[in-house]
Amino acid sequence: MKLYRTDKGFFGEENNRFWRVDAPSWDALLADADLHGRVRAAGQSGSKLETLDGMTLLSPVSTQEVWAAGVTYFRSRSARIDESKDAGGGSFYDRVYVAERPELFFKASGRRVVGPFGEVRIRKDARWSVPEPELTLAVHSSGKILGYTIGNDMSSRDIEGENPLYLPQAKIYDGSCAMGPCLLLEGGDLPKETAIRIRIERGGASAYSGQTTLAELKRPVTELVSYLLRENSFPEGVFLMTGTGIVPHDEFTLAGGDRISISIENIGTLENVVAAG
């Protein structure tokens, strides 16, 4: 079962049938620890729609903070070691990959998050920009995982590689995060074989594609959540991106007009375009 946030309200979905979910606000839904039961109950009464055509899909982030985990896949560890070797930062990435404590960083406020089909941005002062396709958790204030969505942790690899202390500038800027298209309302673990895929098109042709599966994610998602909630409260809930397992080859950098499609099995596809410089 899925939940969509649109400009015309909130909609549950199962087997391509949609139904309205009444709530005073998106935040009120994310404050409900039994969101699954609430959306299910709304679907048992009332009429169903065939499509959401004519509605604009919005990002699932309202007043929530967005945090991100890093170096949770071997591919991410290797890519960061390479990009920062001249700066002497390489060993940090290896150490955090094997450490008990994960890397967690603040990624975005709702205002910086772009929804489905919106424009993500690359920094004008960066030379090497990439998307990072990441399974993203919608977490209730209690720490319970309410559901899953797709996130894009846009990153400036040259800035991050120059000095690990530049991480916030490489990661947090206007249009640096995309999320959607819905919440998959599952509380339990997603299957390890769940595939994450990315396709980048430039001028109608494929510029890059890659894939991984959740089997490559080194840490249980519940471990990432428990570290995030240590000494930190999120009264409105929080979104947690779980890190990337797909990093394009070193010659690849994003350009204005690129179309980015990220798919995660059972959730859907998040499509965005890179804003023109």
Nearest to Mg ion of 27, 223 (CB atom): 223
Nearest residue (beta carbon) to ligand DO4: 70
Give the shortest CB-243-to-ligand DO4 separation in angstroms. 4
Q: Among 132, 156, 199, 225, which residue interacts with ligand DO4 (rule: CB under 6 A)?
A: 132
Asked if 247 contacts 130 with a C-beta cutoff of 8 angstroms, the reply is yes
Angstrom distances, CA of residue 66 to CA of 36, 77, 171: 21, 22, 12
| Residue closer to ligand DO4 (CB basis): 30 or 84 | 84
How many angstroms separate the Cα of 213 from the Cα of each of 83, 105, 174? 24, 23, 29
Task: Select the residue interacting with ligand DO4 from 38, 80, 140, 157 (CB under 6 A).
Answer: 80
Site string for ligand DO4, 167-206 (x = CB under 6 A): x---------------------------------------
Q: 13, 153, 160, 258: which one contacts Mg ion (CB under 5 A)?
A: 153
Say if residues 190 and 266 touch (Cβ distance below 8 Å).
yes
Q: What is the DSSP string of 198-254?
A: EEEEETTEEEEEEEEEGGG--S-HHHHHHHHTTT---TT-EEEE---S----TT---
Q: How far apart are CA 271 and CA 183, in angstroms?
A: 15
Q: Which does 80 bind (CB under 5 to 8 A by kind): ligand DO4, Mg ion, none?
A: ligand DO4
CA distances 30 to 61, 146, 221, Å, are 10, 8, 19
Residue 103 interacts with ligand DO4 (CB under 6 A): yes or no: yes
Nearer to Mg ion, 153 or 271 (CB): 153
Rounded Cα distance, 169 and 162, in Å? 11
What does the binding site for Mg ion look like in residue numbers (CB under 5 A)? Answer: 132, 153, 244
The residues that touch ligand DO4, with contacts defined as CB under 6 A, are 68, 70-72, 76, 80, 103, 132, 153, 167, 243-244
